[in-house]
Structure 1
Amino acid sequence: MLTIVFFNLNTHAKVNSNKECALSDSLNSPVYFGDPFILLHNGTYYAYGTSNPNGIDVYTSDDLMNWKEPKQKMALKKGDVWGEKWFWAPEVHYYQGKFYMFYSAEEHICVAVADHPLGPFTQDIKKPMIANEKCIDNSLYVDNGKPYMLYDRFNDGLNVWIAELEPDLLSIKEGTEKPCIHVSQKWEEVWPRVNEGPFIIKHKKKYFMTYSGNSYESPFYGIGYATADQITGPWTKYAHNPILQKPKNLVGVGHSATFKDKEGNWRVVFHAHHSQTKIHPRIMYISTITFKKINNEEVMQIDSNYLTPRLLKN
């Protein structure tokens, strides 16, 4: 079967197909997720990612290393939500008794709701959050009880914006949209103009936004970060970005999300290319984030000694 990857320099279209679903002949396999996200809820880890052309899959784990496929592995299905294709970059948050999945479909940002992290995630009204503009990679951050959403716009290459959300998390408060970061450092200009996959955490009263630079198809895809004193900015990029690019034998490293493990340590999940010569199916990896004071500045660091999780065969 012939599968084709489409890449458009103007829209950075990340078109997934059956390539993300390749199976291993071995007893177990890596976790074939692009744009991965991990949620820890009630002692169980849930991983979501770009892989299934018909929706969003989920796997579970007790220890971050060994992952299992639940009886119903699709947390979100085409038909239950808006969109027919290109289900990308999911992340799931528990908020006021419900689970909210932020994701992209057909290059439009969407949100769906469920009562359980396994889903099913659905939309009562099937529509994207911004109907008249293509955007991707939406990410939630709740700051002192007020919800904000980061997302990528295509109006300057691909760049990161933030907006306040309505209390139900389903729509943007009009007039609150504001730019955060755009391509501005030399390492980001390999191919093409891309800042994407934003994710925010807070450390010692400062906001840290991780993001990815370059095309996901490039071996020079990497992770950098910016900081701010307020959630809405202004944001200042770390001068020595990237903090993760081509670790050991990996290439195409990026689209990360950060979470705390059961011991309270900061972890980061990201994907890399299948190999140094093949992009798909992309593979999920996990590492550790630490902070170190250098020249009176709190610096975020990602350990290059990453974990390669495995999917256990049923």
Structure 2
Amino acid sequence: MAMIKNTQLQIRDPFVVPVVEEGQYYLFGSTDTNIWGKGTGFNVYVGRDLLEWEGPYAVFRPEADFYAENNFWAPEVHKYEDRYYMFATFRRKDNDLLGTAVLVSDSLLGPFTPHSEGPVTPKDWCSLDGTLFIDEEGLPWIVFCREWQQVADGQVCAVRLTKELKGTIGEPVVLFSASQASWPTAFQHTRYPGQDNYVTDGPSMYRTGTGVLLMLWASFINNTYALGVATSVSGTVLGPWVQEEEALFRSDGGHGMLFHAFDGSLMLAVHTPNQTPNEQPLFLKIEEMAGKLRVIGM
């Protein structure tokens, strides 16, 4: 199988799972040629150096009775209690709203099959980009975005998950709205004349070596995709969350996540540019110091 370079790979919302025992990285993401239309499924790519990849390998293809047919977005894969759980966003057929559902597999190569009964995010909310977070007591949460199209000022929310990751416990909590950060800018939309809108995308949790809980999340600066960082004052998922004044990355890239390369380097994965079909994965080295993050190179 021919190797595929990052510059040849169309992918959004990249999510990397390093497997030390294999010396391999598994790269998931939104892999449909046109993610804004009918969904085909999700693929994974496998590589050893973050430069070239084998694949694509199909890891999810919906059955005929699947509850969604459009907008298959942002698959994240987390190992939890000896199985692999995929958190992915789909647009439901029954109400045309986005929601994050949970799929499961015994292998990173799939196949992943539906685990939750549809999305675990609220049925009447337009929600996307859910990520799994395990708290200091070992309890699972989903952290996700409520889309600006419903609330104008996009939100990042959290709700407890049941132990088996099939449903939720209690009501969602709004952690913050996009406009609470100083770096995103508002935009207008013809569908909502006169209304200032702010985007929240792709929350991703990371605890530093000193125990500081950080969250990456994406928005826009003058219509250009960008990535920011928030810090939990309490060190818990419920915050309160304090926003960094400046974006971490603002060169038309975002929906980021952090992982450690096999040489120990802290790496940031984003997609850039933010235009279909030109989006590609980009991997940046990150310096972590005193609970803060800084991009230091490719």
Same fold (TM over 0.5): yes
- The change in CA–CA distance for 1:125 and 1:235 in structure 2 (over 3 A counts) is closer
Aligned residues: 262
Q: Which has the higher strand share?
A: 2
Secondary structure at the counterpart of residue 140 of structure 2: strand
Q: Which amino acid aligns with 2:132?
A: L
Q: Report the counterpart of residue 203 of structure 2 in structure 1.
A: 198
Q: Which amino acid aligns with 2:247?
A: P
Q: Report the counterpart of residue 127 of structure 1 in structure 2.
A: 118
Q: TM-score, normalised by structure 1?
A: 0.77
Distance apart, 1:65 and its partner CA:
1.3
Q: TM-score, normalised by structure 2?
A: 0.81
Q: 2:103–2:112: 8 Å Cα contact kept in structure 1?
A: yes
Residue of 236, 239, 242 corresponding to 1:233: 239
Of structures 1 and 2, the one scoring higher in RCO (CA 8 A, sep 6+) is 1
Q: 2:5–2:53: 8 Å Cα contact kept in structure 1?
A: no
- The change in CA–CA distance for 1:124 and 1:143 in structure 2 (over 3 A counts) is closer
Q: Which amino acid aligns with 2:102?
A: V
- Does 1:51 find its partner at 2:31? yes
Q: Unaligned stretches of 5+ in structure 2?
A: 33-38, 92-97, 188-196
- Does 1:139 find its partner at 2:131? yes
Q: Which amino acid aligns with 2:238?
A: T
Structure 1 CA distance, aligned partners of 2:5 and 2:29?
Answer: 22
Secondary structure at the counterpart of residue 69 of structure 2: coil
Deviations 1:254-297 (A, max 9, x none): 001111122332211100117xxx5423111111121224xxxx
Q: 1:212–1:223: 8 Å Cα contact kept in structure 2?
A: yes
Give the alignment of 1:144-159 within 5 angstroms: 144=136, 145-154=138-147, 155-159=151-155
Distance apart, 1:156 and its partner CA:
4.3
Structure 1 CA distance, aligned partners of 2:153 and 2:61?
Answer: 30
Give the alignment of 1:75-90 within 5 angstroms: 75-79=59-63, 81-90=66-75
Q: Which amino acid aligns with 2:244?
A: Y
- Identical positions, percent: 24
Residue of 55, 58, 63 corresponding to 1:69: 55
- The change in CA–CA distance for 1:124 and 1:225 in structure 2 (over 3 A counts) is closer
- The change in CA–CA distance for 1:224 and 1:58 in structure 2 (over 3 A counts) is same
Q: Unaligned stretches of 5+ in structure 1?
A: 1-25, 247-251, 307-314
Secondary structure at the counterpart of residue 189 of structure 1: coil
